[in-house]
Structure 1
């Protein structure tokens, strides 16, 4: 092992101070697997190459992190393609042949018979159909009872004479095809209905969960999506409007002195704050600047934004402030927002009910 901190398949990233998977930084190569800790030491030194070739009897087709053991073909199967470092062995069954990387059935021979009736004899022509070109082998059988009644002119003997039974068989064949198609169409419609119903049910559960306030993480995802779709919401202009002196006086006295945790408990106000403070917009200060005002480190702020798809950075900042400073109030947050010129966010805080 080249690392004493990370297990095999991971390496230590000193800048992030955590172990990362090798496949996150290196692509998977056919015929190779990752070496121990991708060849990196805990001091961020490359002591080995990131890859090592698959050993004899193993393979990696480019979809695996580690080389896997080659398969063996048990009887009555046979090995159609030997195992290589970049592909597994291929086994075919008896009666199959290997073509274009697949096992396909061998073509079976069929016999076609054509009967030609003339005035004096009946000619039976047998054709063997296989992969090679057919070779007709005519056999002539004398007519057992040639008579004027059995005489059929040769010009008519070569034309097909369909019987009622063959016509009914063809008609039944097409009716069966139409019936199968109808059953298959009905089955697909039922599956589509069940799929839409299931998706709708899942959406309703997520909506109820968000409205009940059980997950700030879902709130952040929903809020960010809505923000990206709201084109007319101009944060920059509101952050540099005429109320640059601060709007903390707009807060009701009960709201001004309420605990900071009140903002986390009010999902409507919290969602609006996430919409205006989390995005990175040129010319407007955001959650990054608010976190800096709260003495959070630069590394912590970058980590919070790297997890933005899973949790809102603003929610993470507010939870951290409540933990470190439980005596902080909504008024403290309003003063910090005023200091970074985000009076639009102070106006949102003013929407908190006075009876909190």
Structure 2
């Protein structure tokens, strides 16, 4: 605990000499919960951030101080997120397109084709017999002048379209498999390109060049902090499309990622770097030291970003910009602004 006087959801107000609830100072945010004592110690020092994201399997819809455990269902259900609880479907319902709908069995469509022949009328002309008997001739004439009507109807032909559905299903499966292979191959190509570029950058920079570059960065950071002490993170707001982009977008953009590595990984006196960013993301001190011990093989910043994406896949570029602003690295936020608008993961 950061306070020995107040419970977890309260903090010590030294001016009023009493514990105050966290929600009296900060708003309740959906998907997050208050840290212990809102991150404040009894001597009014902020040790941690006032909010932290909900863990996997918990949620906060904006009406709770702490994240609640997601409900479990025995029927089909819509999984919970960090901002909404699990939705259990009713008996007989299935999940479709994010909604619970009544399950209906698959029906087979039968197409019936009926062939009809137009009626044909045949008329026989009356014939007159040459025999002298008039009555017989009349009878023959009447009998032979009858009209014959013929109409035929073929039985319907039934076409079962079940085979069509089977073919469509096989075709869709093949398309999905091909798409997966293309994406996997493209991802492998991007990783190889990043490793090659990262290696070439390390080889091209000598120890003397790196030292001069770090001194230049240190001068620019200190100069910027002197000129912008009165500014907050709102002075470096990113475009809404960039703020809402997934955090994985930074890992996929090699140019922006390379610039961030060059300005955040070096240990520069008077400037906060990747170590402080990792601490803001709740990585342990031992983990941070291990990441820097492997610096020659892998960038500590890349390791931090990959770890955050794995633990919190819902984080966006805006979350990263907020943490960078909190440690005073507005120069890194300006590099994030170079991400193209409308990027997708």
TM-score scaled by structure 1?
0.38
TM-score scaled by structure 2?
0.39
